[in-house]
A and B are shown apart, each in its own frame.
Chain A
Amino acid sequence: MAKILAVDDSASMRGMVAFTLRGAGHEVTEAENGQLALDVARGGSFDLVLADVNMPVLDGIAMVRELRGMDSYKGVPILMLTTESHTDKKMEGKAAGATGWLVKPFDPEQLLATVKRVLG
């Protein structure tokens, strides 16, 4: 099972993501914003990063850019959690180095399917 870093400023969204992934046997670390996620990422290694776009302190896109600048995160899949209305955010995320995205709203099954897809 995979080590996953879940980054979202919303406790409910983060909680739902973590709960669902843990239920599927993954090891999940949670972070409240991009900056905290970077701190956590530096101190450990992850197989997958799931990140919200809009967050205080450091947003998801800036976080992805930073992560991709770190040697140990060059090829690690990073998924952005975006909303339907922001297709430009998807492209911005891609340009920053994101692997893909998961469009909100999603239910636990969609989340698991996407994670399975990216982890192979």
Chain B
Amino acid sequence: MVNAALAQFQQVFIEESLEGLDTMESSLLALDDGGDAELVHTIFRAAHSIKGGAATFGLPEMSSFTHEAESLLDEVRGGKRAIDGGIVELLLRTVDCLRGMFARARAGEPLNDATAEGLRGELAAMMGRGTAAGGLQARRPADQADAWTIRFRPHAGMLAGGNDPLRLIRELAGLGELAVTAELDRLPALDKLDPTECHLGWTIELAGPAKRADIAAVFDWVEGECELAIEPKHVVAATAPPAAAAPVADVAVARAQRETSAESGTVRVAIDKIDGLINLVGELVITQSMLDTFRDGVDASRLALLEQGLAQLARHTRELQESVMGIRMLPIASVFNRFPRMVRDIGQKLGKQVRLELVGEHTELDKTVLEKIGDPLVHLVRNAIDHGLELPAQRRAAGKGDIGTLRLEASHRGGNIVVEVSDDGAGLNREAIVAKAVQRGLIRSGESLGDEAVAELIFQPGFSTVAVTTDLSGRGVGMDVVRRNVADLGGSVTIRSTPGKGCVFTITLPLTLAIIDGLTAAVGGEHYIVPLVSIVESVQLKREAIKTVAGGGELFRFRGEYLPVIRLHELFGCPDAVRAIDEGLLIVVEGDGARVGLFVDGLIGQQQAVVKSLEANYRRVNGVSGATILADGSVALIVDVAGMVRMQSRRKVA
């Protein structure tokens, strides 16, 4: 029962400690930037909570480890030690180490490792001690006797502290038989008696074998609030029992956690969101009972009421849908928060000075999107510092300040979330990119390319212009992976570079993966949904606008470039579809950085589609990202634009 309770709260403890570590980290970084003294208190509190909780929840190794960091912080807090870069650095590494220990605690692995041991030594050295403080202090040998005489005279104010002498005497009675004599000498006359004060004293004869320490323990809370004398009446041979052993790690508890460990799969939801839901459901119930009155038929006189009820139902359904989606929405701050530390570390490593600006941290994203957007963002941030921002000397030569600015901004734009990573560095190096592309055979030497086309080149697989591979970026896993990851989330990445002024990477993401805004297109009696986010335009063309190329491919000219035509009826095998170009419609879509025209019979309208997984219910189909159920109950497939573009480019290569 004890272990079950411990196990239950150990999980909660680990979660709150990880949050505490985030707080410690951000406060340490702020402190390093010249933050105020309140930050030290915040950091201390976090360390202190972890220390106290670790011992309580069966993680004593962490407790003693955190104790070292806490002692250091205590000295800083008390003004005995000035905070400097070295301490911040050491404490930041401690934060990292603790994160690792918590991860191992979750996995049920041994907590200590070489890093932890090394850090503990460093912390102790910083505190001016060779080794970690060793365990509990050995207790003084306890006297033992068969009988004791205890004189106990509380000070007048003892009651104010909530300690009742009667309670103490009762507690003593647990140690043996008592004979108590009250001392009334301090008792004032009744008219002078203040009932909130103590006026009595007692002499207590305790019969029975008891230790002095046990008797003293009864009075430990009133030390300094009373006069106390504990004297043995019959002394027995004093023995020195060994000091209590340090608590042993409850390994079983950690093991039991392995199965219940909940790394992900849970969402913490703000109470007001849940209240909103409950409220909506309440309204829905009211509407339902109102509509229920029409069960026996509708007469003309109540038609208006029915319409009103249906309108309410529509509104509640929409609001309920939005609210339920909202539960999956979390602020992007949880992703942004890792960057101050990372930017600082990378900047230091490369000798670059970087100021990080975070904007729109409260913008909310679907939890799934949030979990997957971290890696692409990390890559963009690393690239921006490594390739984008210049060294201080270069910046000065270019007439800019020493400190480069890196900005991460999240915002809502239409039905999308837009995350921008921008820097005020040198911008894309056009010559280097073109040279590399020629070397890689991506373009021909002397080919003239617009700025946009040059920027597109960096999204090619394996493209990297850095001569020397650093351990930060330029490992060949590059922008193509970023684009692919974002495309998997139904989003897109674009880049805007201004030479000498910097680069802006713009990631556009759908609000949620569970619902998409789409355009319903008809193809031979079937319906297909094209995601709105990927649609550029729809055009109707004359027959002669289509050029047929060798191999049977069709192209059409759109804003100065030739785009391939993908006939959906051919791809999906719809026999009764429109075939003549001038009788149907071309939807120009963009995915994976390229555009194609999808040929359909016509458009039916815009609608929100709840995405059902095709993989889960059937199997993966190329060119289809999922399915949805239409209002009439029929199934419509959702077109995977990026997948189609990839299929098209493979066909081109073949």
Contact = CB atoms under 8 A, between A and B. Distances in A.
Given A85-B67, A98-B161, A108-B2, A12 B53 contact: yes
A107 B3 CA distance: 10
Contacts, number: 106
Contact of B162 (A10, A75, A81, A109): A75
B33 to A, nearest CB: 22
Contacts of B234: none
A94 B158 CA distance: 10
A19 B171 CA distance: 26
Nearest to A81: B52
A16 B5 contact: yes
Contact of A19 (B9, B13, B52): B9
Contacts of A30: none
B8 A101 contact: no
A76 B48 contact: no
A117 B167 CA distance: 8
Nearest to B2: A108
A12 B55 CA distance: 12
Contacts of A68: 160
Contact of A118 (B1, B167, B224): B167
A13 B52 contact: yes
B221 A100 contact: yes
B6 to A, nearest CB: 8
Contacts of B49: 9-10, 13, 54
Interface in B211-242: 220-221, 224-225
Contact of A107 (B45, B56, B196): B56
A1 B10 CA distance: 27
B203 interface: no
B164 interface: yes
Nearest to A73: B162
A88 B533 CA distance: 63
A36 to B, nearest CB: 15
A56 interface: yes
Contacts of A77: 162-163
Interface string A2-16: 000000011111011
Contact of A117 (B2, B56, B171, B224): B171
B42 to A, nearest CB: 8
B159 interface: yes
A10 B13 contact: yes
Given A12-B12, A12-B13, A104 B56 contact: yes
Contacts of B164: 75, 120
Contacts of B225: 94
A82 B63 CA distance: 14
Given A11-B12, A85-B71, A100 B163 contact: yes
Interface in B7-39: 8-10, 12-13, 16
B247 interface: yes
Interface residues of B, number: 44
B338 interface: no
A97 B161 contact: yes
B161 A94 contact: yes
B160 A10 contact: no
B483 interface: no
Contacts of B5: 16, 19-20, 23, 108
A19 B6 CA distance: 10
B12 A99 contact: no
Contacts of B136: 84
Nearest to B63: A105
A91 B222 CA distance: 10
Nearest to A116: B171
Interface in B269-313: none
Nearest to A20: B5
A98 B8 CA distance: 30
Interface string B452-473: 0000000000000000000000
Contacts of B163: 77, 99-100
Among B13, B71, B170, B220, chain A packs the most CB atoms within 10 A around the CB of B13
B261 to A, nearest CB: 15
Interface string B164-177: 10110011000000
B5 to A, nearest CB: 6
A78 to B, nearest CB: 6
B528 interface: no
Nearest to B166: A120
Among B42, B162, B225, chain A packs the most CB atoms within 10 A around the CB of B162
Among B2, B52, B71, chain A packs the most CB atoms within 10 A around the CB of B52
B107 to A, nearest CB: 19
A16 B160 contact: no
Given A11-B16, A81-B52, A91-B224, 7 more contacts: A12-B53, A16-B6, A19-B9, A68-B160, A75-B159, A75-B196, A97-B162
Interface of A: 9-13, 15-16, 19-20, 23, 54-56, 68, 74-78, 81, 83-85, 91, 94, 97-101, 104-109, 117-118, 120
13 contacts: A13-B9, A13-B53, A15-B8, A23-B5, A54-B45, A77-B163, A78-B162, A85-B70, A101-B221, A104-B56, A107-B6, A108-B2, A117-B167
Interface of B: 1-2, 5-6, 8-10, 12-13, 16, 42, 44-45, 48-49, 51-57, 60, 63, 67, 70-71, 136, 159-164, 166-167, 170-171, 196, 220-221, 224-225, 247
Closest 5 CB pairs of A and B: A105-B55, A100-B221, A99-B162, A12-B13, A77-B162
